[in-house]
Amino acid sequence: MLWLSLYAQWMTVVPVIVPSQVTGVLGCGGAAKEGITGSIVALGAVVALVVAPLAGALSDRRRSPRGRRRPYLVSGTIGSCIALAFLPLFGPGSNLLLYALAIVHLQFWWNWASGPYAGLISDVVPREDQGTASGWMNAMSIIGTILGNVLIAVLYRPSRAWPIVAMFVALNLAALAATVRGVREPPARGAQLPFRLGPFLASFYVPPRAHANFYWVLITRLAANMGIWSVFTFLLFYLETVLTIGCGSATSLLAILLALGAAFAIPASLLGVWLSGRYGLVPIVRATSWIMTATTICYVLIAVRPQLALVVPVVVIFSAAYGAFGAVDWALALAVLPAGKDAGKDMGIWHVSLVLPQILGPVASGWLITWIAGAVSPRAAYEVAFGIAALWFAAAAALVGRVRLRPITRN
């Protein structure tokens, strides 16, 4: 349930609210809004890069008769509620540095909860059932994405952010209550040895030769997410600039498109889980990566002759492929974890392959778009930036074939 509330925020705050609020501060025609938006998203992701594996590793060591992850879920969720309350304070003429700090604050608490939460799934689900659990987790992620974007379309306006923030806070608290009441964690004995900084930091090193599959999954997930965040972060500006849709209308339209795409992602994710049981995880991850490659190329072609009617099916197909990718990709990560006893730390390391692209992708693509738009044209800027994103998806599709999984036996 907690994934539902996290994704309701994550897949609206990053691709919709941050670009919208930066536009509100700078003005609709503000110079360098892509580069500034990408930099703010990346700055928040730097914090996430550190906090998720750190919180996951700390939760591995915690001693508690009621489970080791619970304190991090509670404190992280409540902290994110407080951090969300700062966002409506920013409007035209606000200080962008303070706004960036508000996003950093929010990212800290999101990842303080999500790092240990990733380890929780490995704690409570037997290995032979982790594919099914991955499908349910992904379904909650998609439902959260739909719910978040529907709420954005109904409640959010750049000059009136309080209603959506209040709804996100209520959703956080409801999902936290359901998770704390519904999940029965096994008692945690904590670390066997006293805490020492050197061995703690050394525990983050996973020998590549002994765990090659783990590293190939990290690499391919990093490549896929470089493509995802190079596209998602700038879809709002793509609608405004390439399709010449007004700022306010583009925000509502993007929320509707993302919700529509997420609705198609639910059956796609269930189909992906079923197909992975029949054909294996790796072939389905590879197929969905190729579909995302093709749809990203479609964004490039639409920029040559812009038509809104062509964007709708592309968003839907891209989102469906992303939904199926997310469902089986999580199961693939669980299948290659090096050590069950350190699941929080190991899933935190895996989480880096999700967060690092949020640093590199938005910054590189944002300033590339800003520079090419000024030197050539906005359409050319998105053709180049999204063309590079397609190459990232293609790399993920090509490299995932190097993963070799041992067969799963059921008792």
Domains contained in the chain, CATH given:
2-182+212-402 (1.20.1250.20)
Residue type, 174: A
**Tokens coding 92:** 């035209």
Nearest to 355 by CA among 172, 220, 221: 221
Nearest to 394 by CA among 282, 291, 280, 249: 291
CA 261 – CA 123 distance, rounded (Å): 32
- pLDDT score at 211: 74
- pLDDT score at 316: 87
- pLDDT score at 203: 66
Nearest to 116 by CA among 169, 181, 174, 71: 71
What are the Cα distances from residue 295, in Å, to 67, 282, 345? Answer: 43, 20, 34
- pLDDT score at 258: 85
Q: Which long-range contacts (CB under 8 A, 24 or more apart) does 377-380 make?
A: 378/241, 378/242, 379/241, 379/242, 379/303, 379/304, 379/306
Residues 211 and 336 sit within 8 Å (Cβ to Cβ): yes
Can you give the length of the chain in residues?
411
Collect all residues with Cβ–Cβ distance below 8 Å to 110 and sequence separation of at least 6.
6, 9, 10, 48, 76, 80
- pLDDT score at 411: 44
Collect all residues with Cβ–Cβ distance below 8 Å to 333 and sequence separation of at least 6.
217, 221, 347, 350
Residues 35 and 369 sit within 8 Å (Cβ to Cβ): yes
Residues 272 and 320 sit within 8 Å (Cβ to Cβ): no
- Please give the chain's pLDDT, 411 residues, in tens: 888 999 899 889 988 899 999 988 888 777 788 899 999 999 988 888 888 878 887 887 777 777 788 899 999 999 999 999 999 999 888 999 999 999 999 999 999 998 888 778 778 888 778 767 777 777 788 889 889 988 998 999 888 899 999 999 999 999 999 998 988 887 766 555 555 667 666 666 667 776 788 888 889 989 999 999 899 889 889 998 888 887 778 888 888 888 888 888 888 888 888 898 888 889 999 999 999 999 999 999 999 889 889 998 998 899 889 888 887 887 787 777 775 555 556 666 666 777 788 888 999 999 999 999 989 998 999 999 999 999 999 999 999 988 887 654 444
The dihedral over CA atoms of 136, 359, 352, 124, expressed in degrees to the nearest 10, equals -30
64: helix, strand or coil: strand
